[in-house]
């Protein structure tokens, strides 16, 4: 059974990911010079951001996997917070950064990890 704290943290994760998409999309839209560029950058910048996030699989990094994933997540969130700041939405950037820090603290406080170990993944599929 999943605790209330874990469900709360899942909600924080959703807020973070939504905040990242909106921040990167809004920043991309704002830096475009033409309508076409605004639309392309508004869609493309979040795709590139999430592509970077999902492209690298740290599981092969052994004992460095978890810290590397944490660094990557904090960097992506930090860049999104910076995007908010650069568009003049400093409060949104600060809020995104704060929610991200709280989320990551709660992950480790509740005994969780960002990356599941291979055997944990197999166990969850009955392997």
pLDDT value for 51: 84
Residue 8 belongs to a domain: no
Q: Decide if pLDDT at 123 tops 70.
A: no
- Comparing CA positions, the residue from 28, 62, 23, 64 lying closest to residue 43 is 28
Enclosing domain of residue 68: 17-124
Q: Which helix (H) or strand (E) holds 32?
A: none
pLDDT at 53: 77
How many domains does one find in the chain? 1
| Residue range 60-72, pLDDT digits in tens | 888 888 999 999 9
d(CA 109, CA 98): 16
pLDDT at 104: 94
Cβ pair 38, 45 in contact under 8 A: no
In a domain, 40, yes or no: yes
Residue 9 within a domain: no
């Amino acid at each position: 059974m999943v605790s209330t704290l874990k469900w709360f943290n899942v909600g924080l994760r959703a807020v973070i990911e939504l905040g990242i998409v909106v921040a990167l999309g809004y920043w991309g839209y704002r830096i475009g010079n033409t309508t076409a560029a605004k639309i392309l950058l508004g869609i493309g910048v979040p795709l590139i951001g999430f592509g970077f996030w999902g492209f690298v699989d740290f599981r092969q990094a052994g004992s460095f996997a978890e810290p590397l994933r944490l660094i990557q997540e904090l960097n992506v969130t930090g860049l999104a917070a910076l995007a908010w700041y650069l568009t003049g939405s400093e409060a949104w950037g600060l809020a995104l950064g704060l929610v991200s820090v709280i989320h990551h603290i709660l992950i480790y406080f509740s005994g969780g990890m960002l990356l599941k170990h291979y055997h944990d993944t197999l166990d969850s599929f009955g392997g």
